[in-house]
Amino acid sequence: MAMRMSSLFLRTLRDDPADAELPGHRLLVRAGYIRRAAPGIYTWLPLGLKVLRKVERIVREEMDAIGAQELTFPALLPREPYETTNRWTEYGDNIFRLKDRKGVDYLLGPTHEEMFTLAVKDMYGSYKDLPLSIYQIQNKYRDEARPRAGLLRGREFLMKDSYSFDVSDEGLQASYDAHRAAYVRIFDRLGFEYVIVAAMSGAMGGSASEEFLAVSAIGEDTFVRNDAGTYAANVEAVVVPQAGPVDASGVPAAHVEDTPDTPTIDTLVASLNANHPRPDGREWTAADTLKNVVVVLVQPDGARVPLAIGVPGDREVDPKRLEAQVAPAEVAAFEEKDFAANPSLVKGYIGPGVLGEDKESRIRYVLDPSIAEGSAWVTGADEHGKHVLDLVLGRDFTADGTIQAAEVRDGDPSPDGNGVLHTARGIEMGHIFQLGRKFAEALDLKVLDEFGKLVTVTMGSYGVGVSRAVAAVAEGTLDEIGLCWPRAVTPADVHVVATGKNRDRDGDVFAKADEITAALEAQGLDVLYDDREKVSPGVKFKDSELIGIPTIVVVGKSLENGVIEIKDRRSGERREVAVESAVDEIVDEVRGRVAGAGA
């Protein structure tokens, strides 16, 4: 049945909603697709629900096509399994917790690794039962600290999550590859630009991990890629290669120098150039200095553990990269009280002399991998107003390891050796990763192998943000006059507009529009039909632009000349066609055939 605008539960709004930050979100609200019910929580109005269901169907079809089986777990979940894997604690404030009338703890599921793992444990026991891929499409809940960006970061959101279960690593790789291929088909079908990037698995544990990002200036994720298209990664996941060793034989012995009033890299560089010129005459730059940044890692149990990070003085520590490395711990500033508790650290002059688990401070000390064995640095001398020069890694100081936490910049070499990196922004649409045996071990999911021995199952976890995809498609396809849906997810195939004033006066127009609508539906098309009376053509046109259905058919005055108008929403191109052939032409256009060639 056509959606008739005379009775459709829809009101388009002239003004932008006050709380909408993003253009696509503003349009989804203005065009009557969604309404905000609470921060980060949305109602899907009839038009919005149509789009959501289309995305859902595409995801389901591609999941079914790789043999994944659908089931549905509850959203209201018992605490116990999440306690076992420690995620009840690790999630911190990010999940919704509640108690039932008996005081028993529950949570609203943010993701269902535990439940899927337990279900397989409950039902399966042999390697012959595997491989298995199971999935659900279901509302999930996360108590986002800053629910904004509309559907892109909702607190109640529709997600497809699937999980694969295999006995061997090769099996996991095959399941992962199948999901990856399905995701490529899903995002190809959705019809917008996306990129697959290497990703961190973050709090989930595990190894290989990739994200499907919608390329978008308003995206919350920063990623890098090289020009050749051989490398793309989420910034958090960029792995800067370890610099090879350099020859330090010509470097003089380390020597401490007075550098008064040089608590920052800039003041230090100026002081060096003024008072300690290099023998070879080169200017000192920030890149010659080693900056030691101390932070506090707050563990899920609340414990505060300091960490020192050495990076070249011309780079900052990237908070997001650092957080991804240390999760589930959170990063906090090293404050005055922390300096007071660690008297060997001299603020502004911290050097490797006191850093390291085997040194005075007993603070773990990790270096950026760009810092090469044998390289010489100017760095803090652990004394106010003093720095040490010609301090050589491996000769004069050591560290406890390396960390991928320094900022990644436009123009940095691509880790695969192929050109340089460029940064861009994206919206995370899908995430696939090899969980490995973490959850299976925690929840004791074992099966008998072919030799009758119990082995731990290895798992993959794969997610698509279904409601987020609606927002991402909207953001990625809109133009300056409204939404502009790709055919795959449009709420209707055709928007028929009858421009008559009312049925009494313009009976012919309405009768013909009724007839065309019915004929299009008989051909299997979904039609949004603007049959409203006493609404001006101008308002109807504006609404059709705002709502963004790809093909707009105008039945109006030109009917007198035996023609109606077909308009392409994206290009704005209009053409008049004879009434007699209108339905065929519209069907061809919607089906993507050359107009007039088909039917």
Q: Which of residues 193-222 bind a copy of itself (CB under 8 A)?
A: none
CB of 117 closer than 8 Å to CB of 440: yes
CB 41, min distance to a copy of itself, A: 5
- Residues near 526 by beta carbon (within 8 Å), at least 6 away in sequence: 2, 3, 50, 491, 492, 493, 494
Closest CB 33 distance from a copy of itself, rounded Å: 10
Q: Does 450 bind a copy of itself (CB under 8 A)?
A: no
Residue with tokens 């399966």: 124
Retrieve residue 382's tokens: 């652990």
Determine, following the binding rule CB under 8 A, whether residue 322 of this chain makes contact with a copy of itself.
no
CB-nearer residue toward a copy of itself: 163 or 223: 163
Contact between 398 and 360 under an 8 Å Cβ cutoff? The reply is no
- Nearest CA to 420 out of 246, 287, 238 is that of 238
| Closest approach of a copy of itself to the CB of residue 36, in Å | 10
**One character per residue 19-38, x = contact with a copy of itself (rule: CB under 8 A):** -------------x--x-xx
* Environment class of 92 (CB within 10 Å of its CB; exposed 0-12, middle 13-18, buried 19+): middle
Contacts of 472 (CB under 8 A, 6+ apart): 152, 192, 214, 216, 427, 429, 465
Q: Exactly one of 24, 42, 175, 323 binds a copy of itself (CB under 8 A); which one?
A: 42
* Long-range Cβ contact pairs of 509-513 (< 8 A, separation 24 or more): 509/555, 509/556, 509/557, 509/559, 512/555, 512/559, 512/564, 512/579, 513/555
How far from 25 is each of 149, 155, 426, 481, CA to CA, in Å? 7, 15, 16, 14
CA angle 335, 336, 337 (to 5 degrees): 90
Determine the Cα–Cα distance for residues 333 and 317; give it in Å rounded to an integer: 12
Q: Which is nearer to a copy of itself, 70 or 188 (CB)?
A: 70
Select 141 or 349, whichever has its Cβ closest to a copy of itself: 141
CB of 65 to a copy of itself, least distance (A): 9
Binding to a copy of itself by residue 18, rule CB under 8 A? Answer: no
Element (H, E) at 574: strand 574-578
Question: 112 or 569: whose CB is closer to a copy of itself?
Answer: 112
* Least distance to a copy of itself, CB of residue 284, Å: 47
Angle, helix 46-65 to helix 169-190, in steps of 10 degrees: 140
Interface pattern 49-68 for a copy of itself (x via CB under 8 A): x--x-----------x--x-
Contact pick of 16, 19, 57, 76 for a copy of itself (by CB under 8 A): 76
Least distance (Å) between residue 94 CB and a copy of itself = 8
Concatenate the DSSP letters of all residues of 241-300 into one string: PPPPP---TTPPPPEEEE-TT--SHHHHHHHHHHHS--TT-PPP-GGGBEEEEEEEEE-T
CB of 139 to a copy of itself, least distance (A): 6
Of 503, 497, 535, the C-alpha closest to 516 is 497
Residue 102 or 337 with smaller CB distance to a copy of itself:
102
Q: Tell me which stretch binds a copy of itself (CB under 8 A): 9-17, 239-247, 338-346, 517-525.
A: 9-17
Decide if residue 72 touches a copy of itself (CB under 8 A).
Answer: yes
Closer to a copy of itself by Cβ: residue 134 or 197: 134
Q: Provide the minimum distance between the beta carbon of 301 and a copy of itself in the complex, in angstroms, as a whole number.
A: 19
Q: Please, are residues 429 and 220 in contact by the beta-carbon 8 Å criterion? A: no
In the complex, minimum distance from the CB of residue 57 to a copy of itself, in angstroms, rounded to a whole number: 13
CA 200 to chain centre: 11
Q: Beta partners for 393?
A: 397
Nearer to a copy of itself, 127 or 377 (CB): 127
Nearer to a copy of itself, 178 or 309 (CB): 178
Pick 58 or 198: Cβ nearer a copy of itself: 58
Which structure tokens are listed for 468? Answer: 């987020």
Is residue 77 a contact point for a copy of itself (CB under 8 A)?
Answer: yes
* Residue (42 or 284) nearer to a copy of itself, CB: 42
Pairwise CA distance, residues 467 & 485, whole Å: 15
Q: Which of residues 332-351 bind a copy of itself (CB under 8 A)?
A: none
Choice between 263 and 300, CB closer to a copy of itself? 300
Question: Does residue 575 touch a copy of itself according to CB under 8 A?
Answer: no
- Quick one: which of 88, 91, 96, 163 contacts a copy of itself (CB under 8 A)? 96
Q: Which stretch binds a copy of itself (CB under 8 A): 69-77, 253-261, 325-333, 405-413?
A: 69-77
Is residue 84 a contact residue for a copy of itself (CB under 8 A)?
Answer: no
Give least dist CB 395 to a copy of itself, A: 50
Non-local (6+) Cβ contacts of 162 within 8 A are: 63, 68, 133, 134, 135, 136, 179, 461, 462, 463
Angle 248-254-258 from CA coordinates, rounded to 5°: 140
**Contacts with a copy of itself in 153-192 (CB under 8 A)?**
155-156
| H runs (alpha helix) in 387-490 | 438-442, 466-477
Residue closer to a copy of itself (CB basis): 76 or 578: 76
CB of 440 to a copy of itself, least distance (A): 17
What is the greatest pairwise CA distance in the chain?
A: 99
Q: Is 46 one of the binding residues for a copy of itself (CB under 8 A)?
A: yes
Q: What single letter denotes the amino acid at residue 547?
A: I
For residue 590, give the H/E element and its range: helix 579-591
| Nearest residue (CB) to a copy of itself, 63 versus 405 | 63
Q: Which stretch binds a copy of itself (CB under 8 A): 122-130, 262-270, 409-417, 557-565?
A: 122-130
User: Rounded to the nearest 10 degrees, how much is the dihedral formed by the CA atoms of 437, 440, 443, 446?
Assistant: -120
In the list 45, 307, 317, 371, the residue contacting a copy of itself (rule: CB under 8 A) is 45
Could you say whether residue 409 binds a copy of itself (CB under 8 A)?
no
**Which spans of this chain sit near a copy of itself (rule: CB under 8 A)?**
1, 7-11, 32, 35, 37-38, 41-46, 48-49, 52, 64, 67, 69-78, 93, 96-98, 100-101, 106, 108, 115, 119, 122-124, 132, 134, 139, 141, 143, 145, 155-156
